[in-house]
Amino acid sequence: MVYYSKKIMEHFLHPRHLGKIKDANGVGDTQNLRCGDVMKIYIKVEKKDGKERIKEAKFETLGCGHAIAISDMICALAEGKTLKQAKKITFDDIAEQVGEVPKPKLHCIRLAETALKSAIKDHESKKKK
Ligand code: FES
């Protein structure tokens, strides 16, 4: 049986960032082909004081409890950050935020990292158009 920490359970049962951002200007989609979990991160980036900042981040995830909880945590981690800071969020930063995760669930963190990076990339490519 997979172990769920208190923190994971809290974010799984009461996610604060669940849903879609209708006017998102960055969307990142990713899937783990082995487990089939799918994660989508929406970001709303606004320019303030000359810096682009993630004003809001939300997610839609079809997957395990860890994937859902970690999606919620990465949105919380990204919100309020400048794009420059958000781009530097690493696997280790997320792992530190998430806390205890059983080894077979570590890839859920990688999925969240990829989804956020892909949302930022999407935002940047939309800007160029
Ligand atoms: Fe694959 Fe959670 S089991 S992302």
Write the pLDDT tens digit of every residue in 24-34: 999 999 999 99
Which helix (H) or strand (E) segment holds residue 64: the answer is none
Answer whether residue 1 is part of any domain.
no
Q: What is the pTM of this model?
A: 0.95
Task: Return the pLDDT at 128.
Answer: 83
Which tens digit of pLDDT belongs to each residue from 78-87?
Answer: 999 999 999 9
Residue 22 belongs to what domain range?
6-124
Q: Is residue 111 part of a domain?
A: yes
Question: Is position 117 within any domain?
Answer: yes
Domain-located, residue 129 = no
Q: Is 108 a catalytic residue?
A: yes
Q: Are 64 and 35 in contact (CB under 8 A)?
A: yes
Residue from 11, 35, 68 to probe ligand 1 pocket by mutation (most atoms less than 8 Å from CB): 35
**Which of 18, 35, 76, 95 is labelled catalytic?**
35
Per-residue pLDDT of 59-107, as tens digits, reads 999 999 999 999 999 999 999 999 999 999 999 999 999 999 999 999 9
- Please state the domain count of the chain: 1
Residue 1 pLDDT > 80, yes or no? no
CATH number at residue 92: 3.90.1010.10
